[in-house]
Amino acid sequence: MSASSPNPLADLIAEKGVLLADGATGTNLFAAGLESGEAPELWNESNPEKIEALHQGFIDAGADIILTNSFGGTRQRLKLHHAQDQVFELNKKAAELARSVARKADRKIIVAGSVGPTGELLVPLGALTYDEAVSAFTEQLEGLKAGGIDVAWIETMSAPDEIRAAAEAATSLGLPYVYTGSFDTAGKTMMGLHPKDIHHVVDGLPQRPVAVGANCGVGASDILSSLLDMTDADPAATIVVKGNCGIPEFRGTEIHYSGTPDLMANYAHLAINAGAKIIGGCCGTSFAHLAAMRQALDNHVQGPRPTVETIVEAIGPMRNKVAGDGSDIPRRERRGRRG
């Protein structure tokens, strides 16, 4: 691991107050020529210059944190592309590409190793055992660690057990870790996790996360509502929000995200006022959107803590109802790809 501190995020937050994470991986790689159904992770080997350009674009836009191109880097996901025997190499390369770009920057850039869900359901809903999940995430993170990541970034998760398995893998390798859920189903994750309960998913593990939060989901208003729940539940926690760029809409066969740079700047202001310490963008978030968010962070004047009503007034309507306390557990796991 390249970082000398056990918590490089805390060090940079202490220095800068609020950090800007990067934007979309998938959206921007599709714009660069990635075909639908193609694994972005394979581009680490076949098109490394395009992955470096992605990272460089986000750094130029003002990002403090860049995520490696390794979201689908477990053997379960790579098996879909007959690349399950390249887990270590593809993840190591993902980290090396991000690190090489970060090293050239004129400021401290944190390289976060993106770890997405396996796409498999854990026992008892599916066939993947907890120990198999830990093993899969350990294999992925060994590659990311060898390539020089500062922190493991476990994201777009739905199942608490899967978060815990990835956290256990990071801890076993001595890596600090972040985890975020995707609260895309009536204000909860698809597997029923409520935002307020995000803090307790890894209770009992020997190492606590350096940050927790939300990413992806549906729209920017919804993720800010989840943020309010998370900061209410633990005001002292370091919270991440990495929201989609507005609302996804189909235009013919293409997905278009409704968010403008101004909307994402407003989202950033509201996120700071609601207590987030790390703010970024997910699906649809371009370099231009991120640059507007950078300007918002740099020019922010602290305002009152927003309410759901003031968020809707500023950003637009929520797509989901606010999370209730029911315990409906859907039967399928999120299989989406970040960004």
Q: Is 282 flagged in the annotation as binding?
A: yes
DSSP code for 212: E
pLDDT category, 254, cuts 50, 70, 90? confident
Count of positions (residues) in the chain: 339
What gap in Å lies between CA 180 and CA 244, rounded to an integer? Answer: 14
pLDDT given at position 331: 29
pLDDT given at position 325: 45
- CB-CB contact of 161 with 139 (8 Å): no
Pairing verdict, β 254-257 and 248-251: antiparallel
pLDDT given at position 201: 98
DSSP code for 108: -
Question: 52-89 pLDDT, tens per residue?
Answer: 999 999 999 999 999 999 999 999 999 999 999 999 99
* Triad 336, 70, 270: Cα angle to 5°: 65
What gap in Å lies between CA 144 and CA 73, rounded to an integer? Answer: 10
Is residue 4 scored above 80 in pLDDT?
no
pLDDT category, 5, cuts 50, 70, 90? low
Question: Domains in the chain and their CATH numbers?
Answer: 8-315 (3.20.20.330)
Q: Is 245 flagged in the annotation as binding?
A: no
The DSSP bridge partners found for residue 153 are 114, 178
Is residue 252 scored above 70 in pLDDT?
yes
Question: 24-53 pLDDT, tens per residue?
Answer: 999 999 999 999 899 999 999 999 999 999
Its pTM surpasses 0.85: yes
DSSP code for 27: H
- CB-CB contact of 18 with 119 (8 Å): no
pLDDT given at position 322: 63
What gap in Å lies between CA 116 and CA 289, rounded to an integer? Answer: 23
Q: Is 216 flagged in the annotation as binding?
A: yes
How is residue 124 written in tokens? 């008892």
Q: HSE (CB half, 13 Å, CA atoms) of 309?
A: 1
pLDDT given at position 81: 97
What gap in Å lies between CA 218 and CA 316, rounded to an integer? Answer: 12
pLDDT given at position 320: 80
Q: What are phi and psi of 337, to 5 degrees?
A: -115, 140
The stretch 247-264 carries a mean pLDDT of 84
Distance, C-alpha 4 to centroid of its chain? 23
